[in-house]
Chain A
Amino acid sequence: MPEATFLDANELILNMGPQHPSTHGVLRVILKLDGEKILGTECVIGYLHRGVEKIGENRTYAMFAPYVDRMDYVAAVSNGLGYCLAVEKLLNVEAPPRAQAVRVILTELNRIASHLLWLGTHALDIGAITPLFYVMREREEILNIFEAYCGARLTTHAFRIGGLQYEVYEGMEKQVKAFCKMFLPRVDEYEELLTENRIWKDRLVGVGVLTAEQCKQYGVTGPMLRAAGVKWDIRKAQPYSGYEKYDFEIPTRTNGDTYDRYIVRIQEMRQSVRMIEQAVDDIPEGPIMAKVGKVIKPPVGEAYVSIEAPKGELGYFIVSDGSTQPYRVRVRPPSFVNLQALDTMARGGLVADIVAIIGTIDIVLGEIDR
């Protein structure tokens, strides 16, 4: 916390948020400024705290599944996957191959949706309004697929513990393939708008640099880590849900600035399309639900499962005391950990850069405050 009482004559405390369009929710940042220069920042979080972890202790395993969608509501499917995998690890069951393939398709679609929303809002913060409209147009297609598959667009509750509740709807493969075909040229279109744009480059190149060493110190994961040059992706390092079957690359960059993180996310969208195309081409036949009892009652024990969510490593740690309700649910949210690096990235920069830096972390406050 910058000490308000010991300011120099030219120093200024500026309060940004919690009601600010560029903080992507209810994040409050206290800035200590010297003119235009940022001397320090302090994040105040907790405005969206709902006690999700505590709710988990009062619900049965199946009942808690819809709540995890409400943490990172931009990537609800990834949250559901992480939770289901953690409970499945506790139960020592594995989803059948057909369920795994459908899970991969939906989570990768959700990764694209999350990155699209990030791209639109990030560009909007910087001042480029146009990409937001195009991005929403493509995101709509993904949400239509979600709606047709599981009946909800945002808080999907798509997966159940042990597999899937819903069978693939008629024409899903066709719709997903059509989306993939339509989407790749659209990514080129976003790149045409932004990548070489001089205003975009001036605002992003060299802003908010986070080296690989600093990333590791803070525990920063996801595209931010990869933009700093570390080739770390949980889908490759510890494959889950059949990710080892698909052929994809981990896009990395070396500078670790805001521009590199933009490039990494754009590349990731292309890689996701590649994965979806492979997965949709052969969805294995078979059951969609593993043998899980009607009442889910895992043995005494604990399980930690981490997955590569769009924003970074998303971990679920569940302790079971042998009853139908979890004894403790702990979530390792990627946005919360990544937000720690805000001060390091912003310090010494200009006050206009703070908006770009908050945007580049890709935070969702529902996940930070839980």
Chain B
Amino acid sequence: MRKLLRTIFLVDLIQGLWVTFRNQHPKNIYTEQYPAQRPRIAERFRGAPRLNINPETGETLCIACDLCALACPENLIVVSSERNKQTRRKELTTFTYDTSRCMFCGLCEDACPVDALELTQDFELASYTREGAIWDRQMLEEGPKPTWYRY
């Protein structure tokens, strides 16, 4: 009898609708208005790579040890260096990083002994060309320059 009444008065369906109704309140909005509203990115987020420079002297921190290139599963980092005749130290000449093949696993930044290579919070990596996804040393030091939207 009870079951019949529940069936006739659609109790099970109204119960579900009440849940939907409870969630109607405007404070329950979870949509982010990207790009107007920037998402909050975690500190440890693994995004665009950056080659850190010493902020005072402008010199690169990279010691051209090639450990990141060896750690990379996709072999997308190419480091080339030159031996300085006077100081007998290796100096970085070029550094290329192919972001189109990168899967942002973070193994390169784990391998870096001097914290020169770092995966940053930047995540807007789109490019109009395939070549644009291959970042050279200048791009890695300056960081990506995403388009600014006007709206």
Contact = CB atoms under 8 A, between A and B. Distances in A.
Bound pair: A and B? yes
Interface of A: 59, 62-67, 70, 130, 134, 137, 140, 144, 147-152, 155, 157, 165-166, 169, 189, 192-194, 196-198
A137 B30 CA distance: 7
A1 B124 CA distance: 46
A175 to B, nearest CB: 11
B73 A148 contact: no
Contacts of A70: 103
Given A63-B72, A140-B30, A148-B42, 16 more contacts: A62-B71, A63-B73, A63-B107, A64-B73, A66-B107, A130-B19, A130-B20, A147-B41, A148-B44, A151-B46, A151-B106, A152-B46, A169-B43, A193-B19, A197-B16, A198-B7
Interface in B87-106: 103-106
Contacts of B127: none
A57 to B, nearest CB: 13
Given A130-B20, A192-B19, A197-B12, A150 B73 contact: no
A157 B44 contact: no
B145 to A, nearest CB: 23
B45 to A, nearest CB: 5
Contacts of A144: 42
Contacts of B72: 63
A192 B44 contact: no
Given A66-B105, A140-B30, A152-B104, A192 B15 contact: yes
A148 B43 contact: yes
11 contacts: A66-B73, A66-B107, A140-B30, A147-B44, A151-B42, A151-B46, A155-B103, A192-B15, A192-B19, A194-B16, A197-B16
Interface string B45-76: 11000000000000000000000000111000
Contacts of A151: 42, 44-46, 106, 119
A228 to B, nearest CB: 26
Interface string B14-25: 011011100100
Contacts of B23: 134
Nearest to B74: A63
B5 interface: no
Nearest to A194: B16
B46 A67 contact: no
Nearest to B22: A189
A192 B16 contact: yes
Contacts of A65: 105
A8 to B, nearest CB: 40
A193 B19 CA distance: 7
Given A63-B73, A165-B110, A193-B19, A147 B103 contact: no
A169 B44 CA distance: 9
Contacts of A149: 44
A157 B42 contact: no
B1 interface: no
A310 B41 CA distance: 27
B13 interface: yes
B44 A150 contact: yes
Contacts of B107: 62-63, 66
A51 to B, nearest CB: 14
Contact of B16 (A59, A66, A148, A193): A193
A130 B13 CA distance: 13
List the 4 closest A-B pairs by CB distance, nearest first: A66-B105, A63-B73, A151-B44, A151-B46
Nearest to B12: A196
A166 B44 contact: yes
A91 to B, nearest CB: 18
Contact of A66 (B18, B20, B43, B103): B103
Nearest to A294: B111
B122 to A, nearest CB: 13
A134 to B, nearest CB: 7
Contact of B45 (A64, A140, A147, A198): A147
A198 B73 contact: no
A140 B23 CA distance: 17
B73 A59 contact: yes
Contacts of A63: 71-73, 107
Contacts of B104: 152
A196 B15 contact: yes
A148 B44 CA distance: 6
Contacts of B110: 165
A66 B101 CA distance: 13
